[in-house]
Amino acid sequence: MPFLLRCPSGRLASMIETDTTATMRAISQNVLGGPEVLTEVQLPQPVPGPGEILVRVRAAGLNPTDWRHRAVAGLFLPEPPFVLGWDVSGEVAATGVGVTLFRPGDEVFGMLPYPNGHGAFAEYAAGPARAFAHKPAGLDHVRAAAIPLAGLTAWQALVDTAEVSARQRVLIHAAAGGVGHFAVQIAKARGAYVIGTASAPNHDFLRGIGADEVIDYRGTDIADVVRDVDVVLDSVDDENSIRSLRTLRPGGLLVSLRAFGTIDLVAEADALGVRAVRMLVEDDHAGMRALAELVDSGALRPTIAGTFPSSAAAKAHALGDTGRTVGKLVLTVP
Quickly list DSSP for 293-304.
HHHHHTS--PPE
Q: Is the pLDDT of residue 6 over 60?
A: no
Q: How confident is the model at residue 13 (pLDDT cuts 50, 70, 90)?
A: very low
Give SS3 for 225: helix
Domains by residue range for the chain, with CATH: 2-147+302-332 (3.90.180.10), 150-278 (3.40.50.720)
| Contacts of 11 by beta carbon, 8 Å cutoff, 6+ apart | none
| CB neighbour class for 72 (10 Å; exposed up to 12, middle 13-18, buried from 19) | exposed
- End-to-end CA distance of the chain: give it in Å, rounded: 25
Q: Is the pLDDT of residue 2 over 60?
A: no
Rg (CA), the chain: 21
> pLDDT (tens digit, 9 = 90+) per residue, 71-125?
999 899 999 999 999 999 999 999 999 999 999 999 999 999 999 999 999 999 9
Q: What confidence score (pLDDT) does residue 145 get? A: 98
Q: Which position has the higher pLDDT, 188 or 334? A: 188
Angle between helices 148-155 and 285-297 (to 10 degrees): 100
> pLDDT (tens digit, 9 = 90+) per residue, 25-42?
999 999 999 999 999 999
